[in-house]
Amino acid sequence: MTLDVPKINNGWWTLVRVVMVLLVLDIVASVIAFPLVKNQWIGFLPVIPAVGILIFGWCFRQRLKKMFEWLQSLSVARFLILILVAGMGLRVLLILLVPFRVTGDDAVYHHFAHQWLTQGEITINQGGKEYLVTHWVPGPSLQLAGFYLLFGESVRVGQLSQVFWSGMTLLAVYLFGMRLCGPRVGRTATFVYAFWPSMVFYPVCLGYEIMLGFVITLISWFALRQPPQDRSYGTFFVLGLMIGIGCYVKSVLAIMVILIAGAYVVQRYPLRKWLPRLCLTLAAQVLVLVPWTYRNYKAYGEFIPMTSNLGHALRESYRHNPFDEQGNFIPYQYDPSLTPPEDNRKALREALAYMREDWMKTLYHIGDHHARTWGTETTVVLKLIGERTEGGKIVKNFSYFLADLMRALFQTGWLLAVVAMTVATCFVCRGRKLDAGLVMTVIWHAYFCFGLTWIHPDPRMRLPIVPITAIWAAWGIVAWVDRKKKGEQDRRPLNDEKGD
């Protein structure tokens, strides 16, 4: 049984409609702006296959509908086994076939994981001195060290750990979508995530984005699967532990309690029923962060609960010229004469000075970041077969061609998702009866979309919200399939109360 929404009034629905329209317009604007800001006309190429796929789907809509209904008719166990075997099998196949060189952040995670295993701590050499790391959260490297400890220290093990997190994310998408939006949306979202192009390729790398997507989706499902008054205080304590652990993966989860409180306000749950419980959640979250905070205080005498990287990230993104002539992001170098926390404070002062100097340019940078992070996952492509490929001129030119082809494939997947999200938005604006799940999905999508991309214009920053995006897109797909045609009776409600 899914969550009901009789308590959500028309005012909140109006706000949800406005937010959905703005988000879709933001993504559509990114489709147009991205090739322009990067000076790459090939960025418009994915529109052609996306339109072709849509035309193909329209021509064979009856057969596709039969396949869709067949997928929905499978038992829970058979459906999940089929999707897991197909989706994870494809990821493992790509890991075995696609060459990969450990560079950039992946090399850092690999190195930190080795340090956890050999010295029980992560350090960085800066200006010839060894400092304890504070500008990286420990979660990504620590989980990688766990897999290395169990299965051996190799890049292949790290890649297969990504497949594990992909499978866990797939299950979390199923639970979240089914519980909050109904079984049909849950199954459709699971299928969409399993074969999302960029998520199929990304396990080749060692980044934290897949695991972060799992953490976001799991916490969202755990927090919203039941009304707060029907749950014990112990459940909310466990929720706080989960959020605290999530903060070790990405500090953007630090205000997750506020998002959950907003969800309860939207659903008009009595304040006295959920406020004391969320206070306990916040206390549990703080409790989880105490060991890392104490470690940082002991090393530097400063209160650093998660990371000291905000200043670095803002300085990189909002200085006068963060991009080169080809539109590629230029990392900003650390000051070797300062400790990491001191350098962070210096960077934060410089970043705020840049932002205050020209507010219009700062607003332009924020919009520019959204355009640059839309649907490209360029980092993935370059690590696979892009600019780092060695060989003669013919080999390099062919690798560039493959890189552009993969970029087009990634963007095509995003474009199709945008179409499905637009369909969902159109149904919302037409007054279609909704469910709480879509409201929460929109709120979550808005926060993490802007929370992850406004600071750092890296295409990877949109990957953690793919599970949430898949649920939104799945809602649009199911709404289209179940739509009422002129002269027909109403089909089954979108929020199907017949659970799996």
Between 243 and 4, whose confidence is greater? 243
Kindly write down the DSSP assignment for every residue of 431-445, as one continuous string.
T----HHHHHHHHHH
Contact of 276 with 289, CB cutoff 8 Å? no
Q: Tens digits of per-residue pLDDT, 108-148?
A: 888 899 999 998 888 887 767 778 888 888 889 999 999 99
Tell me the percentage of the chain whose pLDDT exceeds 90.
16
Contact of 465 with 153, CB cutoff 8 Å? no
Strand partners, 123: 132
How far is it, in rounded angstroms, from Cα 152 to Cα 495?
46
Angle at Cα 137 formed by Cα 169 and Cα 134, nearest 5°?
175
- Chain position carrying tokens 């009034």: 9
Kindly write down the DSSP assignment for every residue of 343-358, as one continuous string.
HHHHHHHHHHHHHHH-
Kindly write down the DSSP assignment for every residue of 261-299, as one continuous string.
HHHHHHTT--HHHHHHHHHHHHHHHHHHHHHHHHHHHHH
Q: Tens digits of per-residue pLDDT, 319-372?
A: 655 555 555 555 566 667 777 788 878 888 877 887 777 777 777 777 666 666
Burial track 422-458 (b if 16+ CB lie within 10 A, e otherwise): bbbbbbbeeebebbbbbbbbbbbbbbbbebbbbbbbb
Instruction: Name the band, by pLDDT with cuts 50, 70 and 90, for residue 32.
Output: low
Between 466 and 164, whose confidence is greater? 164
Tell me the percentage of the chain whose pLDDT exceeds 70.
71
Kindly write down the DSSP assignment for every residue of 394-445, as one continuous string.
HHHHHHHHHHHHHHHHHHHHHHHHHHHHHHHHHHHHTT----HHHHHHHHHH
Helices 393-429 & 47-59, crossing angle to 10 degrees? 50
Contact of 413 with 47, CB cutoff 8 Å? no
How far is it, in rounded angstroms, from Cα 136 to Cα 124?
10
- Collapsing DSSP to helix, strand or coil, 474 comes out as helix
Q: Tens digits of per-residue pLDDT, 227-242?
A: 788 788 888 999 999 9
Strand partners, 132: 123
pLDDT at residue 493, as a whole number: 43
Domain boundaries, the chain: 10-481
How far is it, in rounded angstroms, from Cα 145 to Cα 151?
10
